Amino acid sequence: MTAETEAKDAQERPPRRPMRADARRNYEKLVAVATESFLANGPDASLDEIAKRAGVGPGTLYRHFPTRDDLLDAVCTRWADAVAADAAPLLTAEDPTRALADWLVRLVDHVGAFKGLASALLLNADRKHDTAWILHHASEELVARAKAAGGIRQDVTTSELMTLTSGVTYACGYSKQAGKTVSSPERLIGLIMDGVTTR
Amino acid sequence: MTAETEAKDAQERPPRRPMRADARRNYEKLVAVATESFLANGPDASLDEIAKRAGVGPGTLYRHFPTRDDLLDAVCTRWADAVAADAAPLLTAEDPTRALADWLVRLVDHVGAFKGLASALLLNADRKHDTAWILHHASEELVARAKAAGGIRQDVTTSELMTLTSGVTYACGYSKQAGKTVSSPERLIGLIMDGVTTR
DNA sequence: AACAATACGGAGACTGTCTCCGCTTAGCAA
DNA sequence: TTGCTAAGCGGAGACAGTCTCCGTATTGTT
């Protein structure tokens, strides 16, 4: 769904030349290598090393991604697009409230599988196109459907749900890499759902 | 309550010489300076700079605190002792469930005031003496009292409550420094409490 | 006062960040 | 094609932070 993201990008900042072929090539390569590298070495992986492995100079990396966060954002955005796609089937589920709960559990699992790289970006839903916004957006429809079906409280917002879920993603992602034991995502999301369910 | 912590330290690893006077002096100075510095510059503050400002060489800093986390831990532990003291009055409150909710809100506020330095350490409650353990321990009695009074569900653990709260601390701490708006701690803790309250 | 044991501190090797600027290349126009 | 120009490249190198090693200084004990 990167194409969609790009389309929006274009429509918001119209007078923007397309990237030159070599520039785009390097950009893609950098994101690909960075994904591997962040996954393997954590979010502090050496940027010069990533540049080298992508076959470009550090200057090129820093031109495309002035800060580490810009690169991390690009990586996470792609990942988030894929994760968001996972929500689509749930939109037509018969029990919207259960679908929402399922989705939140999946979200936690995905963040865990992504080594917690994205957990820092899960909040902060107001910049467009970034990780938080994509996931927020994907959740929003599920929340709306659950509300419409009367399954969850009208006064609870998507943001609030995301905030509460972020603690779970963080805890579960952390526990995985530290070998700790924490209650399961299902259990914790269940507790959250218990609080927001109508009764 | 640092004294208590030290006492436990001593009883667990008995054959441990007391620190030499100059060593203790430097240790104290380092923690004090580090607290300031982390608060002012975030958790990535330069360690050599901290050493310099404490009037010691880098070698001395690294001997006392082999890794950055060790120093951060020492700083956060002191802070956590102070925060935990804030729970004491609530232990005798007439409504234990309300007291627990109050405490969790205070916890979020404290973490926010500490610039989120401790939020990374809030989980991970199994090493002794560290931030997470101190706060976990402080919460435990309040949870027990609320359960005993029948205010909250018997099946909910302190860890689970801390995990859920950590999302809130993280979100609120973050929003403060980024100028974002998030639902208030009261509101979010309220949602959590709604989930764990008996009915 | 003398002597271990303990602790200090800073020079310096090392690693990672980020910039500057001369060189290369893509894409366009004639 | 050819030539031109803007866009893009890349790597040398300045800088900042980490962390160690080891000769020197201090402490506390006999």
Q: Hey, where are the domains in chain A?
A: 3-66, 71-196
User: What's domain B71-196's superfamily in CATH?
Assistant: Tetracycline Repressor, domain 2 (1.10.357.10)
User: What's domain A3-66's superfamily in CATH?
Assistant: Tetracycline Repressor, domain 2 (1.10.357.10)
CB pairs A-B closer than 8 Å? 93
pLDDT greater than 80 at residue A123: no
Give me the count of residues in chain A: 199
Cβ atoms A173, A116 nearer than 8 A: yes
pLDDT greater than 90 at residue A25: yes
Please state, as a whole number, how many other Cβ atoms lie within 10 Å of the Cβ of residue B65.
22
Task: Read off the pLDDT of residues A34-81 as tens digits, 9 standing for 90 and up.
Answer: 999 999 999 999 999 999 999 999 999 999 999 999 999 999 999 999
Q: How confident is the model at residue A183, as a pLDDT?
A: 82
Give A6's pLDDT tier (boundaries 50, 70, 90).
very low
pLDDT one digit per residue (tens) for chain B, 199 residues: 444 444 444 344 445 678 999 999 999 999 999 999 999 999 999 999 999 999 999 999 999 999 999 999 999 999 999 999 999 999 999 999 999 999 999 999 999 888 878 765 665 544 545 788 899 999 999 999 999 999 999 999 999 999 999 888 887 776 666 666 678 999 999 999 999 998 7
Cβ–Cβ below 8 Å for B192 and A195: yes
With an 8 Å Cβ cutoff, is B166 touching chain A? yes
Cβ atoms B164, A188 nearer than 8 A: yes
- CA dist B28 to B21, B24, B50, B68, B188, Å? 11, 6, 13, 16, 37
- The structure tokens listed for A94 are 């018969």
Residue range A94-105: mean pLDDT, rounded? 97
Instruction: Give the residue with greater pLDDT, A142 vs B15.
Output: A142
Q: How confident is the model at residue A71, as a pLDDT?
A: 95
Q: Do domains B3-66 and B71-196 have the same CATH topology?
A: yes
pLDDT greater than 60 at residue A14: no
Burial class, A100, CB count within 10 angstroms (exposed 0-12 / middle 13-18 / buried 19+): buried
- The distance (Å) linking the CA of A13 with the C1' of C22 is 32
In this structure, is the CB of residue A195 within 7 Å of any atom belonging to strand D?
Answer: no
Of the candidates B179, B180, B171, B177, the one whose C-alpha atom is nearest the C-alpha of residue B43 is B177
Task: Read off the pLDDT of residues A149-185 as tens digits, 9 standing for 90 and up.
Answer: 999 999 999 999 999 998 888 777 766 666 666 789 9
* pTM score, whole prediction: 0.85
- The distance (Å) linking the CA of B20 with the C1' of C4 is 14
pLDDT greater than 50 at residue A3: no
Average pLDDT, chain A: 86
